[in-house]
Amino acid sequence: AQTVTQSQPEMSVQEAETVTLSCTYDTSESDYYLFWYKQPPSRQMILVIRQEAYKQQNATENRFSVNFQKAAKSFSLKISDSQLGDAAMYFCAYRSGWANFGNEKLTFGTGTRLTIIP
């Protein structure tokens, strides 16, 4: 079974600075997807960024980028120019690349609570 580990329960960063959230995972599969989801207080969880394991290039979405190290099974999220609206719980998640019945569920880490200091 796949597991996802987020070793930082809480992180804080000064507004406008850069912060990196860590995520490691364990799998025997070669084809899979990795995600970072953001869950603001009392609001919907939304997708921040997605990485396909067969792609070498790290995904980037505006101020959000990942450092995907497949051999090390590491998938960190970098947030540049942090803004107050970035304050949230961030969850790393894994999904198998095999689109068989039952494989499309997400396996989540325990989350990292990010605080932005004005």
User: Which spans of this chain sit near other proteins (rule: CB under 8 A)?
Assistant: 4, 9, 33, 35, 37, 42-47, 50, 91, 95, 99, 101-102, 104-106, 108-111, 113
Give least dist CB 18 to other proteins, A. 25
d(C-alpha 2, C-alpha 29), whole Å: 9
Nearer to other proteins among residue 11 and residue 106 (C-beta):
106
- Please, which residue, 18 or 103, has the CB nearer to other proteins? 103
Q: How far is the CB of 105 from other proteins (least distance, A)?
A: 5
Q: CB–CB of 40/83 below 8 Å?
A: no
Q: Given the complex with other proteins, which of 14 and 98 has the nearer CB atom?
A: 98
Q: For residues 70 and 113, which CB has a smaller minimum distance to other proteins in the complex?
A: 113
Look up residue 1 and give its two tokens: 């079974």
What is the distance, to the nearest Å, from the Cα of residue 4 to the centroid of all Cα atoms in its chain? 10
* Minimum distance from residue 45 beta carbon to other proteins (Å): 4
Determine the Cα–Cα distance for residues 73 and 21; give it in Å rounded to an integer. 14
What's the closest the beta carbon of residue 28 comes to other proteins, in angstroms? 17
Residues 6+ apart with CB under 8 A from 19: 11, 13, 78, 79, 82, 114
Q: Is the dihedral of CA 63, 5, 115, 86 positive or negative?
A: positive
